Structure 1
Amino acid sequence: MAVNAIPVDQRVIDIDSRRFASIEKALVELVTNSDDSYARLERAGMQACGRILVQYERHRHGALLTVADQAEGMAFDKACCILSYGGAHSALSQGLDGGRGYFGRGLKQAIFGLGCGWLETIHAGRISRIELFRGADGAYLYDDSGRDREATDSDRERLGIPGNGTRVAIVIESPQVSISQFGALVHSLANNFYLRDLLARRHVEVVHLKDGVEVERSGPVRFDEPPSVVLLGPELPGQFQHDRQTHPFTLTLRRAMGAELTPRGDERTSGLVVLSGTAVLDCQMFDYENQVGTEYLFGTVRCPALVEKLGQGVAVISDERAGLNPKAPFVAAFYRAVSRMIAPCVTAEQEKLGHLERATTSGRTAHMIEHLLQRMNLAAIHDFGIVHPPPPAAHGRRVEAVDAGAVADDADHAALRFTTPFYCRRPDHPFHVRLLVDPGAFGEHAILKVEASLSEGLTISPQPAEIPLRALRDDPRVEWTVTGASPGERGEIVVRVDGYLAWCEIVIAEHASRHSHHARPHPARRRSPRDHGEAMFNGYEFRYLGKEMDRAVYSPDERKILINTAAPTVQLYVDGRGNFRDSARLLLAELFMEVIADELARYRIGTSGRAGDVDAFLAAKRDIVCRYGSDIHLSFMGG
């Protein structure tokens, strides 16, 4: 046995192994190593089959991964040599190879990052086996058995290598590694931009094993390029100057049509894949990275000089291999040249956003807005007595006449209301909460949505859930049984059908009445109900309103808050997909507060007979901002 430590400071391997503890990253290293070997055969004028076979056997807490090729294979001395660590030992840095492998650490970090493993390689009829593992003290070790031996037919059959070739096997046992499902693994390989060009020229297959037996095979793995139109190219020539030398490159820029692109990560589909020889060095949009207008742009840029300079020791890519290093003067010149070529296309995409008709928010932001509007609808009804939003004509006159008569006539026949808005009951005494519904006031497919906010000591049966109104045709009421465990328990039930709201409050008190009491308002004292009514703010929408309009306005006819996509401060936070960025929720808070405060203030001065009084309007608006402004902003600070 010839057991030795990997010839490098063990701390370096430790850092690398933690950084690359990923099955997908390990596969990129191993598959591209096989591709490099095939490329060397092709440059030597030899025939190469280009087959790369990945086998994956997944277990509950680990997995076995192998990658095999039928390329050059390695003699024993060379196999031992590749265990040397660092750029000074790599073939590229010594001028013996092109393409990849400058840092000389891919194989080791792939194995040690996942667990342990071994490589078996056949060259000129002889087989070498080297095992890589960690010692009891944590040291990174290898065992090369001291020599190679003659390859037998059983060796070739076991490895699937009829001539020369190499197979690397890794036992995935690190607890930091996520054990991917077979389908997810194939998908990640097909979309990994480091492999995209390779998959087009090599025959890569992934086999799913169970107890060593094949149960599934992927077929040739290929990147499925989205439908697109060519904006520049294909292979449009370009060049840049550095140190009085001219370096050529070619550029292909496309715009995806009818497909969403992934904006970041190893599986990103937007951006320009930077190729040099067979090496993929990066995927980005150069000076326009992460900028609006690039969301649907993708393509390739090929520059042979990048790898040439890398082999000469120029810091073309970062030490972490996280992409190109723009601080290097050579790379900076390349950046500027590519950025100049793509600038008109990016600008054209950005100009389209100036006329964006619609925009959307993320699901999380939409949920925040929904809760905010419900909160402000409750405030409009309860605090201001707004049963129906005043029509535009009411803005210039007193508003009582708009809804007072309707309220007097229809208070007992509301489309949706609780029998009482306030349930004050004794502890440990079950009581009924009843909701009265007029199904005929709503559409045939309307849904009753229920939201209950109850303290821990309150129990409710049945549990609140959505109810189709057609189920209430025969008995137009909903009843819950509620019990409070102790005094001080409280809660609220809010129900909604389309734009109509109703709610009730529940309080458990020691000295409450033993009997249910459903108060009836005296006819002479009728006023606007404060526990049910139509929502003043039915929703919101991003819409192109023109550059002359405000950033956000209220539409009385639609009962919606409209956010103007033509406003420059709104455009700034809408990407090329028409998605409003979550990072700009503070702007949304300002827009919603402005519109809501305007409308509530306008209603307040209208009911007091001071419509058109600017000072009264501003004073009312200040009061409303002071009262609800914090709640509005807090609604957008939940995550």
Structure 2
Amino acid sequence: MENFEETPLEIDPALVPQLAESTIRTPIHALVELITNSDDSYRRLEAENQRVSGLIQVFVQVNRKNEVELIEVKDDAEGMNQKELKNALKFSGTPDIRFRGIRGLLRRGLKEACVVFGLGKIVTIKDGLVNLAYVYRGENRKPYKKLLKEPISYSDHNAVRNIIENPPPLKFKLPSRGTTVVIIPLGESRSRFKFFEDDIEKLCKHYGIRHIVTNPRRKIELYYKKESRREKFYELRLDFPRPRSPIKKEIQIGENQIQLEIYEYENQIDEPPFDESNLAGFTVLIDEIPVDHTFFGFEEDPDAYFFSGCVRADFLLKELRENPGKILTPNRMGIDWRYQLCREIKRAIINQFRPLVQRKKDKRFRGWSSPLESKIQGVCGKLNDLATRYLNKINVSTDIGQLIEGKVDKLTLVPPVTWVEVGEERNISIYCPKNMVGESKCKLQTDSDCIELSTKEITLQPSEKYPDLCYNYFTVTGVNLGMATVFCSLGDKDSSNCVINVVREKEIGKKKRRDKVAGRKGLFKSIKFDDLENPTQRVAYLDGVIFIYTNFPSTMPYISARGRLSNNPAAKAILAELIGDAFCRVLARKALEAGKQLGDPIDSYMAHYNEIQKLFLEKIHREIDKIVSEYQSDFQ
């Protein structure tokens, strides 16, 4: 390709695959980013009062295993000249000047999609000139780009035909103006990226393009081809269910305001698990651009799925321009809710949303009367005793959290980023390979007075279970609101650090405060039987309450509506398993929050879960058997 100029992408090659894969995790993510780029281009033309077709064409080809073989996205928008194409292929935290507002700060899809899939072909036409670029992974996964040295005239039909036919060939006819992007998975990416026909609906509902598929000035055509089968055509459109009258409020956040809209629906519009394609949840907009979709801790509450919402926080645009690293997550896939200003927004929304969900829940439970439910509440005291015993144990153990051997090769603080409430404590774990420790002690210091350290010097102890590692922990106490960094050094051998966000004491509504004073203390306050139709899980833990869903298929034969046990001998064991499952899940999460994580978070969670089961599940079975046996006549 003597007409091409080949150069590495302008970034540390080791970082590119990580950055790309954190942004483009599925074919849906790639499609969302490419469709969004096309919409951006149309919006810029519309801002100049130019007439546009608004057409975006998408082609997805998969093999018989539904592994993606090719994705192509084409628009008839503004296109790019050679300079603009070069800028679009730069990995940089500084937005290109041709992108306006928030989009320039979030732009992330074109080059990342090409890198993570393996090969990308970009053909773009502007002012009668055709520019072509390839982005691909070379040897050792290093990313490269090849750009056409000189643009080709759109009227040079032979040259343009060569561009269309050269691998990978283009499906759609090249417009006189616009951009076409083709991406092809290479190597291990082929088996990793799968796209099913059902994913078309998920793509249509993805929060990142809802404003596009509902825009009458846009038309998205998707062609789906599976191996030798007939090609199928879809026009992406989204019709929201009709909500009741929305709740609209302006909420003061310091010197700024957010606009909150909450919509309630007659029926559930979605169900757990929560993801980016759920219609339920809150979409956060900055300058009318969706930057996040979240449920603020209500992901497992089925009553929350009767609601959707919209949060307009335009004042964050200034913060984003000045320091996007504070507002956005490292991969720029959403809001970093640990940042102080974002936490204030989150807290304000939860305070408005929680009473609505509770009202929906109260309405469903009105008139319930279950002898089993009233008698079983005594189990909560036992659960809290067991939970306290376990949490105390992991706080003082010198080996807790040592869950995965061989993953620590340097001085490490876990978790690297966490939070603590004012007046509360949080444990931070230290791990280090034994051959690095010697007789040195770890020295601790912080750059802020918003936290206090339990010690300034600590000795790492050999792990009894894993002889190659040493471990210990220290405690931080929240003093004032703010952010602090804790620095840990092991002589001149190694150093590490972690970031602590100090937040306000959790706000408790008046009703909850009375419950806390008059009711049960601890993690487990109540156990309820819920006859929700079509539940997605058999048991859940929400705000101190264990909910057992009696209409879940594996629950129905043993526990009927309103919490009555069947005559099946296994009914007591099933009830104990359900309560035990919720108990183990809660404590495993608490262990991770306390910093007891090493290596992959899922592996760490399951290790804690299995350990808790081994310690306490048999005790929970005995307690349930005792209570049910005493009051058996009331339940049958």
Shorter-chain TM range is 0.5 to 0.7
The answer to which of 13-22 and 44-53 deviates more is 13-22
Counterpart residue type for residue 311 of structure 2: V
Q: What is the 5 A alignment of 1:317-396? A: 317-352=328-363, 354-355=365-366
| SS of structure 2 residue aligned to 1:294 | helix
Counterpart residue type for residue 232 of structure 1: P
2:558 aligns with 540
Q: Tell me the CA shift for residue 326 of structure 1.
A: 1.7
Q: Tell me the CA shift for residue 27 of structure 1.
A: 0.8
Counterpart residue type for residue 313 of structure 2: C
1:41 aligns with 45
Q: Tell me the CA shift for residue 211 of structure 1.
A: 8.2
Residue of structure 1 aligned with 2:208, choices 169, 194, 203? 194
1:75 aligns with 81
CA distance in 1, matches of 2:110, 2:279: 26
CA distance in 2, matches of 1:150, 1:143: 19
1:37–1:71 Cα contact (<8 Å) kept: yes
Counterpart residue type for residue 236 of structure 2: V
| SS of structure 2 residue aligned to 1:170 | strand
1:231–1:255 Cα contact (<8 Å) kept: no
| SS of structure 2 residue aligned to 1:230 | coil
2:111 aligns with 108
Q: What is the 5 A alignment of 1:26-37? A: 26-37=30-41
CA distance in 2, matches of 1:52, 1:30: 10
Q: Tell me the CA shift for residue 114 of structure 1.
A: 1.2
Q: CA RMSD in A?
A: 4.0
| SS of structure 2 residue aligned to 1:336 | helix
Q: What is the 5 A alignment of 1:135-154? A: 135-152=138-155, 154=157
Q: 1:560 to 1:48 in 2, by over 3 A?
A: same
Q: Tell me the CA shift for residue 216 of structure 1.
A: 1.8
Q: Tell me the CA shift for residue 21 of structure 1.
A: 4.2
Structure 2: 5+ residue runs without aligned partners?
165-169, 371-554, 584-605
2:626 aligns with 594
TM-score, normalization by structure 2? 0.55
Counterpart residue type for residue 344 of structure 1: P
Q: Tell me the CA shift for residue 290 of structure 1.
A: 4.3
The answer to which of 196-205 and 586-595 deviates more is 586-595
| SS of structure 2 residue aligned to 1:282 | strand
| SS of structure 2 residue aligned to 1:144 | strand
Determine which structure has more spread, i.e. the larger CA radius of gyration: 1
Matched, 1:285 2:295: yes
Residue of structure 2 aligned with 1:206, choices 200, 206, 222? 222
Q: 1:588 to 1:74 in 2, by over 3 A?
A: farther
| SS of structure 2 residue aligned to 1:87 | coil
Q: What is the 5 A alignment of 1:514-593? A: 539-544=557-562, 589=621, 593=625
Q: 1:147 to 1:345 in 2, by over 3 A?
A: same
CA distance in 2, matches of 1:310, 1:25: 22
Cα offsets for 1:139-187 (capped at 9, x unmatched): 2101102121211375499653433210000112242454535513312
Residue of structure 1 aligned with 2:236, choices 221, 224, 228? 221
CA distance in 2, matches of 1:538, 1:267: 30
2:137 aligns with 134
1:389 aligns with none
Q: Tell me the CA shift for residue 200 of structure 1.
A: 0.8
Residue of structure 2 aligned with 1:241, choices 253, 275, 278? 253
2:269–2:305 Cα contact (<8 Å) kept: no
TM-score, normalization by structure 1? 0.54
1:427 aligns with none
Q: Tell me the CA shift for residue 194 of structure 1.
A: 1.9
Counterpart residue type for residue 316 of structure 2: L
Matched, 1:171 2:184: yes
> How many residue pairs were aligned?
396
CA distance in 1, matches of 2:258, 2:20: 37
Counterpart residue type for residue 239 of structure 1: I
| SS of structure 1 residue aligned to 2:319 | helix
Cα offsets for 1:68-127 (capped at 9, x unmatched): 111110011110111111222x13xx5951242415432111111112111000001101
Counterpart residue type for residue 213 of structure 2: L
Q: 1:588 to 1:136 in 2, by over 3 A?
A: same
Q: Tell me the CA shift for residue 588 of structure 1.
A: 8.0
Counterpart residue type for residue 306 of structure 2: Y
Counterpart residue type for residue 541 of structure 1: I
1:126–1:148 Cα contact (<8 Å) kept: yes
Q: 1:357 to 1:297 in 2, by over 3 A?
A: farther
CA distance in 2, matches of 1:112, 1:283: 25
Matched, 1:56 2:67: no
CA distance in 2, matches of 1:270, 1:538: 27
Q: Tell me the CA shift for residue 250 of structure 1.
A: 4.0
CA distance in 1, matches of 2:368, 2:570: 16
2:313 aligns with 303
Q: Tell me the CA shift for residue 283 of structure 1.
A: 1.5
| SS of structure 2 residue aligned to 1:267 | coil
2:258–2:311 Cα contact (<8 Å) kept: no
CA distance in 2, matches of 1:10, 1:74: 25
Matched, 1:257 2:267: yes
Cα offsets for 1:575-625 (capped at 9, x unmatched): xxxxxxx999969846752356448999xxxxxxxxxxxxxxxxxxxxxxx
| SS of structure 2 residue aligned to 1:269 | coil
1:69–1:167 Cα contact (<8 Å) kept: yes
2:269–2:280 Cα contact (<8 Å) kept: no
CA distance in 2, matches of 1:538, 1:273: 36
Q: 1:601 to 1:34 in 2, by over 3 A?
A: closer
Cα offsets for 1:444-468 (capped at 9, x unmatched): xxxxxxxxxxxxxxxxxxxxxxxxx
